[in-house]
Amino acid sequence: MTRDDAYRRAETALLLVDMQRVFTEPGLDPAHVAGPQDEAFYRGLAETVIPNQARLLRAARAAGIEVLHTVIEALTRDGRDRSLDHKLSGILVPRGAPEGAIVDALAPGDDEIVLPKTSSGVFNSTNIDYVLRNLDVRYLIVAGIVTDQCVDMAVRDAADRGYLVTVPRDACATYTAERHEAALRAFGGYCWTTDTDTVVRRLEELA
């Protein structure tokens, strides 16, 4: 067995991490004041990352594999249930806030799972491990934002729990290219790092 083993339809899932308006549209995230230095980040999301994720999403749906979405969203309007880190960092997406919605291009299907979380690590603040095991998932494809925070934690925690993780590098992003590349190098030992074209081809083979 290797990290790039061929997928099995009944054991494969796509996880899209935090692809919400608040983090993809400048000016909506109170914890991150967007400036000229972020232009490349938002342009990359619009021109490359979101389109690549949309391709992954279409391929996953066509192949009939499970699709899961994470969103940062408090269980309360005032965010009193948030993790200490989110409180200290000023990260608050109130329950039901319109800016917390997933971007239209990646909107969840009627029967796709959406997991709200209040920490960087989806395995820490949701029951995703329980859900994935109930779904008999072994191969987990992870894409999203930001590469060196929430994506990083999803990859490492999934690997530690026995999942074979795939990360398409061009379907993830963080605020600078340097941070993105450093993150990929740092967690590369926990996953198979590849590109969207390769993952889509593999998913098409399952369809």
* Catalytic site positions: 18, 117, 150
CA angle 94, 51, 176 (to 5 degrees): 70
Report how far residue 43's alpha carbon sits from residue 119's, in angstroms, rounded to the nearest whole number: 26
Question: Cis omega (within 30 of 0) on the bond before 103?
Answer: no
Three-class DSSP category at 103: coil
List the beta strands (DSSP E) in the chain.
Answer: 12-17, 66-72, 113-117, 139-145, 164-168, 172-173, 192-194
| CA nearest to 167, candidates 17, 37, 31 | 17
